[in-house]
Chains A and B, each alone.
Chain A
């Protein structure tokens, strides 16, 4: 695999930190997130973990502008993500790969990936409908970049295949590739290996590591697969019932008694990675945390 040549930006120097400060989200009487704070250092892989219903997906929806925070702030450099509409957030370089695959099944991989170029391209209705030369040129230029990114995620030979006929693992890779196609500075990965087998999980972890080294961008990861989280993440934030119960390096988090209690419901001295792995296995594929958010 070769790292995609960077198209003009995305180097680690202009990746600002993400600062989540005292974010609270309520749905009626239910508090999905309560006073949650954490900071994602530039270029870091930051994992957000927690049992089902802990508020991980709500956090992602706040970060990508789908939900409004009732209190608190989310800053990305000089931008206030909590005050921006989702499509504007995409415009400043925040990309998201969905847990429950949100691709257009009848469209080809290339067409799905080209959507990632939306905010980088300009062709409007008239230019596109009349096939003005600038629209065609623009499409071709970005098509090349899309092919590069597809190659990077080992999807090069499937560019013209409709997404609907791909395997589940490949569809997840298309999700990640589409997010990368926006040339993000911050990549939000919502359970990128949920429902994958061991081999697919390994490939995905490898790809995520390469994305970070090649592009130097920040990655926020929500994941149930503890083995993967512990080996990939630089820092981990643990949520439970909408509250932050721990924040630190993988080693610190693993030793944290609060975390162990959250995963096991008792104070027994058991490694949370085992517990969480069992937890993750039992919750798939009928995991509802994404839709329930």
Chain B
């Protein structure tokens, strides 16, 4: 995506010494913004041409992209392994349906809701998820690596239990419908107002596509800018060596708290988008499997890389949906109730294979492959390079997920 910000930031952080030495050649530098504009135009025009299925898949992918970028900031860039991402998604989603949902009864369950505008619900969802992350963050001061991961696991189980038990807010076992999104009277549903663009009816899926696109781009740019500046450098040093970071003047506990806050806010937004994309929330949507899928996204995409998180999220979130739709043409995959693998299972097999392949052959993930394909000359060293410095391998402070930092940790 936005490589132009990269070159701009490079200029600002690294003074003006010789940007050409490390940057791409003259022709490439012109080519990149052009490609980006082309990509953006395609993304903007897509709703005019493609059918609803792809737009719905796209919105789900945008939500996953936001969540994956957030998790990657925490795990990939700061080295704090978290399996609690599903919990923070749930906080965002539940807050949204509660704050913006209307009170009422659904069968036996008596639902309460505040009935506030959906924008308020979205903001509250993001803030509450962030708050949950902030409250959890002191644990990261005590635990490292896999231990932190296991501790964070507890949140997921607590979350699922609360979703099941707190019926008046969450709808309990059956879940609860998510209110349609609306912005200043413009609803992201099929009516109110009726809308046609170039003769194409803009219904819920088209409108949500644009909402998702805007949110995903904002999330992308924020993360990208963050990593290329002062806080980002502090976070990445903290990942590589907490002692070095603190001796260089970084308040390690403070930064851990802040990155938990930011990462959980991303998760909260992803949770709200998930609720909008499905149209409802249910306890099983926020289980351990979701946390693992998010980890799969960032590992596949390339730990520490914002672009990688985008690619990984796209792959992991869209694949099952695509499999499901094309079950009849894809070998070994059967539709519902037919023989062969279920679409979701088939997709999971593929993720598993892909993760093994990525770890074996390209630790920098999809982002690394993309970089190779586009031939971006910057030869960033892989994780292996740390071994060239004889003493660094003996450090015991480096947290588990960061032992092999992905290539080009900020790209």
Contact = CB atoms under 8 A, between A and B. Distances in A.
A171 interface: yes
B42 interface: no
Interface stretch (A34-42, A123-131, A254-262): A123-131
A43 B19 CA distance: 37
A91 B409 CA distance: 27
B199 interface: no
Interface string A140-152: 1001101100000
Contacts of B241: 102
A104 interface: yes
A107 B246 contact: no
Contacts of A129: 222-223, 225-226
Interface in A93-148: 95-96, 98-108, 110-111, 114-119, 121-125, 128-131, 135-136, 138-140, 143-144, 146-147
B14 A111 contact: yes
B15 interface: yes
A156 interface: yes
Given A121-B230, A139-B229, A140-B15, A160 B22 contact: yes
A90 interface: yes
B233 interface: yes
Interface string B234-268: 10110111011111111110000010001000000
Nearest to B235: A125
A125 B14 contact: no
B25 interface: no
A129 B385 CA distance: 29
Contact of B15 (A104, A131, A144): A144
Contact of A115 (B237, B239, B408): B237
A130 B225 contact: yes
A168 B248 contact: no
A29 to B, nearest CB: 21
B118 to A, nearest CB: 24
A270 interface: no
Most buried by B among A66, A106, A162: A106
A145 B229 CA distance: 16
Contact of B226 (A111, A128, A143): A128
Contacts of B388: 164, 168
A79 to B, nearest CB: 14
Nearest to B11: A140
B156 to A, nearest CB: 26
Contacts of B142: none
B329 interface: no
Find the residue from B12, B262, B304 having the highest chain A CB count within 10 A. B12
Contacts of A98: 244, 247
Contacts of B374: none
B125 interface: no
Interface stretch (B161-169, B174-182, B346-354, B390-398): B390-398
B205 interface: no
B249 A182 contact: yes
A96 B249 contact: no
Given A105-B385, A144-B15, A290-B391, A125 B233 contact: no
B13 interface: yes
B226 A125 contact: yes
8 contacts: A86-B243, A98-B244, A103-B244, A107-B236, A118-B230, A139-B13, A147-B15, A168-B390
